[in-house]
């Protein structure tokens, strides 16, 4: 059977979350969508996840807290950080905190698709 | 498919045996080592896919071994096990690149889950964002956070990750009053590479706006009436250290706007001056959760809020980590024995049961005050319930008003309800000496419902049995 990778998406905007979910289903991924960093951490502890996609700007704990936490428990988990607020965090910072890719909203889907494939590829192989 | 080899390092043969049994059932080959030197040898000989290692071992310290393992093979996951779970070891283990940090007692399910996770992780190859922090913990002992509960372990791990971020990463600490926000700020400071630089705490409620402004920004000679000499502000005094802004929710709109600019530009001018001065310090701010409400009501700038909380630490209230209250109580007992030159040795069982179940609306600060007072009052060897209960009961008799924990009605109601449930269940169990059936009957609840409340609040009947 073909392996279906699991993507955990964190965005507190339900519309964006839904759009993400569609996108990843078309990429043949199984999707877990959550709206807060707390829920995301909970899922990371209870589910196997192949890729984490998170917005920076979330209620209470931010996406960066989630990223730092995720990298502390799963150092090799690929993470894609997305933000609509370039002045909150730069690409350099995001990468230093351990993000593999950094994208600004509105998203360029081709670039996102390419990044996702690279992340999931390095996840499965070697 | 051949399953990978797992190395287990512990000086306790019982633990080694237990691991071997669990892992063998799952089909892994296990290699065992009794100390760090043996472990390093076995790594070169057997190339295990995963290591479980106890941190307290004779000869070489586990953290030192971890460091050496990581220089040999950076990608090999090492899971650190500890019997104590102190703040410093957790922070340091994560900084040194431990995959996970587990506290004893270990359960089989957890071992299995971590094994799976860790082995899955090495199949991935990504450029590791190496964490090359260094724990400068020696000077930190005075500010050690006490508590081994699961939520506090998460806080320690997060402090470990945060301490390696650069100073321009701001941090927001959220938690009710008395949960230890300032201690966490100090821990972040002490764990980072700039621990030897100043830690500068400022309470935003302590001064009226104009004074606070000149405290923070400093002023040039003659900037305003009364400004005699040039004065350096806290932003400058902190150098590359840490500025801790407590109660940030109380900052005036004017200062909110100025602070936002400082965070964006990383520079500022002294009052009455026009030379831009670089800010090298890290900003750590603290507030209770109500800052969100303040934002909704238009009293706190949204853009500042989101900039401050790029990294957030949530400190759970003490009543949600009841296991910690006994550790904290013993810690404060020692502290006040020393300070008050007393030699109280401990708590009676009943006093401890009370401490473990009291809901602490004032969190750790309240517990600390309670113990200080009890140590003062106690003439004998052990602290009895009376020495603790009196101030608590007193306040509830004198002021029938309930503690309002949040302005948000719904939140407040939930919190008070939880406090009530917890106290109610504990009181009844105390009365019926831990007999659940009798307590349920006394409360005219079904046994199931009563037990549901007990497990919801993690209340154990046995702590009430004599
Ligand atoms: N985990 C802890 N371990 C030891 N002492 C603590 C802990 N948490 C809080 N305290 C003590 O409780 C008091 C209140 O802590 P503080 O950091 O000022 O809380 P907050 O800033 O959240 O109001 C201080 O005396 C502090 O030393
Ligand atoms: Mg405080």
Q: Specify whether B178 is located in the same domain as B267.
A: yes
Give the Å distance between the CA of B174 and the centre of ligand 1. 13
Residues with CB under 5 A from ligand 2 (ion): B 182
pLDDT tens digits for B22-80? 888 888 889 999 888 899 888 888 889 899 999 888 777 888 888 888 887 777 889 98
Q: Specify whether B279 is located in the same domain as B397.
A: no
Strands, E assignment, B181-237: 199-203, 218-219, 231-232
> Is there a domain that residue B351 lies in?
yes
Q: Specify whether B300 is located in the same domain as B327.
A: no
Q: Specify whether B305 is located in the same domain as B190.
A: yes
> Is there a domain that residue B409 lies in?
yes
Look at the block and give the residue holding tokens 């910072």: A93
> Is there a domain that residue A69 lies in?
yes
User: What CATH number does the domain containing A107 carry?
Assistant: 3.40.50.2300
* Spatial separation of the C-alpha atoms in residues B217 and B214, rounded to whole Å: 5
> Is there a domain that residue B439 lies in?
yes
Question: Which chain B residues contact residue A77 at CB under 8 A?
Answer: 121, 124
Paired residues of A33 in beta bridges: A9
Q: Specify whether B365 is located in the same domain as B445.
A: yes
Our count of domains for chain B comes to 3
Q: Specify whether B173 is located in the same domain as B284.
A: yes
* Selected residue of A56, A67, A72, A119 to mutate for chain B interface (largest B Cβ count, 10 A): A72
> Is there a domain that residue A57 lies in?
yes
Q: pLDDT tens per residue, chain B (466 residues)?
A: 567 899 999 988 888 888 988 888 888 889 999 888 899 888 888 889 899 999 888 777 888 888 888 887 777 889 988 877 677 778 888 888 888 888 877 888 888 888 887 887 654 332 233 333 333 333 335 678 888 888 998 899 899 889 888 999 999 999 999 999 999 999 999 988 998 899 999 999 888 888 899 999 999 887 777 777 888 999 999 999 999 999 999 899 999 999 999 999 999 999 999 899 999 999 999 998 678 888 888 899 999 999 998 899 999 999 999 889 998 999 999 889 988 888 898 999 989 999 998 999 899 999 999 999 999 888 888 898 888 875 554 444 444 445 556 667 777 777 778 888 888 888 888 888 888 988 888 888 888 889 888 888 888 888 787 7
Question: Using an 8 Å Cβ cutoff, are B80 and B53 in contact?
Answer: yes
Q: Specify whether B439 is located in the same domain as B331.
A: yes
> Is there a domain that residue A12 lies in?
yes
Q: Mapping DSSP to helix (H, G, I), strand (E, B) and coil, where does residue B457 land?
A: coil
Of B99, B264, B312, the CB nearest to A87: B264
Q: Specify whether B328 is located in the same domain as B438.
A: yes
Paired residues of B252 in beta bridges: none
The helix (run of H) or strand (run of E) holding residue B234 is: helix B234-237
> Is there a domain that residue B131 lies in?
no
> Is there a domain that residue B58 lies in?
yes
Residue range(s) defining the domain that contains residue B265: 161-314
Question: Which chain B residues contact residue A76 at CB under 8 A?
Answer: 121-122, 124-126, 128
* Spatial separation of the C-alpha atoms in residues B70 and B78, rounded to whole Å: 9
Q: Specify whether B59 is located in the same domain as B79.
A: yes
User: What CATH number does the domain containing B230 carry?
Assistant: 3.40.50.300
Give the Å distance between the CA of B179 and the centre of ligand 2. 8
Handedness of CA B450, B451, B454, B459 (dihedral sign): positive
Of the residues B293, B314, B335, the one at which a domain ends: B314
DSSP per-residue letters across B348-413: -HHHHHHHHH---TTHHHHHHHHHHHHHHH--SSEE-HHHHHHHHHHHHHH--PPP---SSHHHHH
> Is there a domain that residue B145 lies in?
no
Q: Specify whether B110 is located in the same domain as B217.
A: no
Our count of domains for chain A comes to 1
- The backbone region for B344, taken as left when phi is positive above 0, alpha when psi lies in -120 to 50, beta otherwise, is beta
C-alpha distances in Å from residue B379, one per residue of B276, B348, B376, B383: 61, 14, 8, 9
Of the residues B314, B344, B374, the one at which a domain ends: B314
As given in the structure block, the two tokens for residue B54 are 């106890």
Rounded to a whole number of angstroms, the distance between the first and last alpha carbons of chain B is 55
Residue range(s) defining the domain that contains residue A50: 6-122
As given in the structure block, the two tokens for residue B408 are 């948000």
Of the residues B314, B339, B357, the one at which a domain ends: B314
* Spatial separation of the C-alpha atoms in residues A122 and B244, rounded to whole Å: 41
- The backbone region for B85, taken as left when phi is positive above 0, alpha when psi lies in -120 to 50, beta otherwise, is left
Q: How far is CA A62 from the centre of its chain?
A: 13
Q: Specify whether B296 is located in the same domain as B170.
A: yes
**Cα distance from B66 to chain A (closest Cα, Å)?**
16
> Is there a domain that residue A105 lies in?
yes
User: What CATH number does the domain containing B445 carry?
Assistant: 1.10.8.60
pLDDT tens digits for B150-171? 899 889 989 988 988 899 999 9
Mark out chain B residues that contact chain A at CB-CB < 8 A. 77, 94, 97, 99-100, 116-117, 120-126, 128-129, 154, 157-158, 160-162, 165-166, 168-169, 174, 264, 289, 292, 306-307, 309-314
Helices (H), B7-107: 13-25, 36-46, 62-72, 87-95
Q: What is the DSSP letter of B290?
A: T
Q: Which residues contact B465 (CB under 8 A, 6 or more apart)?
A: B433, B434
Q: Specify whether B340 is located in the same domain as B440.
A: yes
Burial class (CB within 10 angstroms; exposed 0-12, middle 13-18, buried 19+) of A71: buried
User: What CATH number does the domain containing B78 carry?
Assistant: 3.40.50.2300
> Is there a domain that residue A1 lies in?
no
């Amino acid at each position: 059977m073909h392996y279906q990778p699991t993507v955990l998406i964190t965005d507190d905007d339900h519309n964006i979350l839904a759009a993400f979910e569609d996108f990843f289903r078309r990429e043949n991924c199984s999707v877990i969508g959550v709206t807060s960093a707390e829920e995301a951490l909970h899922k990371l502890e209870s589910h196997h996840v192949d890729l984490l996609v998170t917005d920076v700007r979330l209620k209470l704990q931010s996406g960066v807290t989630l990223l730092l936490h995720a990298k502390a428990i799963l150092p090799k988990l690929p993470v894609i950080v997305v933000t609509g607020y370039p002045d909150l965090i730069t690409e350099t910072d995001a990468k230093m905190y351990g993000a593999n890719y950094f994208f600004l909203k509105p998203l360029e889907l081709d670039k996102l698709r390419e990044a996702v494939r690279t992340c999931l590829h390095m996840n499965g192989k070697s | 498919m051949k399953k990978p080899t797992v190395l287990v390092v512990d000086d306790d043969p019982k633990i080694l045996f237990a691991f071997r049994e669990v892992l063998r059932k799952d089909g892994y080959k296990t290699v065992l080592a009794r100390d760090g030197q043996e472990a390093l040898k076995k790594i070169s000989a057997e190339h295990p896919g995963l290591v479980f290692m106890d941190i307290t071992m004779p000869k070489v310290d586990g953290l030192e071994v971890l460091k050496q393992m990581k220089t040999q093979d950076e990608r090999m996951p090492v899971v650190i096990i500890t019997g104590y779970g102190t703040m410093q070891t957790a922070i340091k283990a994560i900084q040194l690149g431990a995959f996970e940090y587990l506290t004893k007692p270990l359960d089989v399910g957890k071992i299995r889950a971590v094994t799976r996770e860790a082995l899955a992780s090495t199949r991935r190859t990504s450029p590791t964002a190496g964490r090359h922090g260094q724990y400068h913990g020696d000077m930190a002992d005075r500010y050690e956070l006490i508590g081994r509960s699961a939520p506090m372990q998460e806080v320690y791990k997060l402090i470990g990750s945060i301490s390696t971020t650069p100073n321009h990463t701001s941090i927001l600490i959220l938690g009710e009053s008395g949960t230890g926000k300032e201690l966490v700020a100090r821990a972040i400071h002490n764990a980072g590479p700039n621990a030897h630089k100043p830690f500068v705490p400022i309470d935003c409620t302590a001064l009226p706006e104009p004074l606070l402004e000149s405290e923070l920004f400093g002023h040039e000679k003659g900037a305003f009436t009364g400004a005699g000499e040039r004065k350096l502000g806290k932003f400058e005094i902190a150098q590359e250290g840490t500025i801790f802004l407590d109660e940030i929710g109380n900052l005036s709109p004017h200062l909110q706007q100025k602070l936002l600019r400082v965070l964006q530009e990383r520079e500022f001018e002294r009052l009455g001056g026009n030379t831009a001065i670089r800010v090298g310090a890290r900003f750590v701010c603290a507030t209770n959760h109500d800052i969100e409400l303040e934002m909704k009501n238009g009293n706190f700038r949204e853009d500042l809020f989101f900039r401050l909380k790029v990294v957030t630490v949530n400190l759970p209230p003490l009543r949600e980590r009841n296991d910690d209250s006994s550790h904290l109580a013993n810690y404060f007992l020692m502290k006040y024995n020393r300070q008050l030159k007393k030699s109280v040795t401990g708590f009676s069982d009943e006093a401890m049961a009370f401490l473990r179940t009291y809901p602490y609306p004032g969190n750790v600060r309240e517990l600390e005050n309670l113990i200080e007072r009890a140590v003062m009052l106690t003439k004998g060897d052990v602290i009895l319930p009376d020495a603790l209960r009196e101030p608590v009961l007193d306040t509830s008799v004198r002021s029938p008003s309930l503690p309002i924990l949040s302005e948000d009605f719904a939140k407040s109601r939930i919190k008070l309800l939880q406090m009530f449930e917890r106290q109610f269940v504990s009181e009844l169990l105390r009365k019926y000496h831990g007999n659940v059936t009798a307590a349920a009957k006394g409360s005219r609840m079904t046994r199931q419902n009563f037990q549901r409340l007990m497990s919801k609040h993690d209340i154990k009947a046995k702590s009430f049995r004599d």
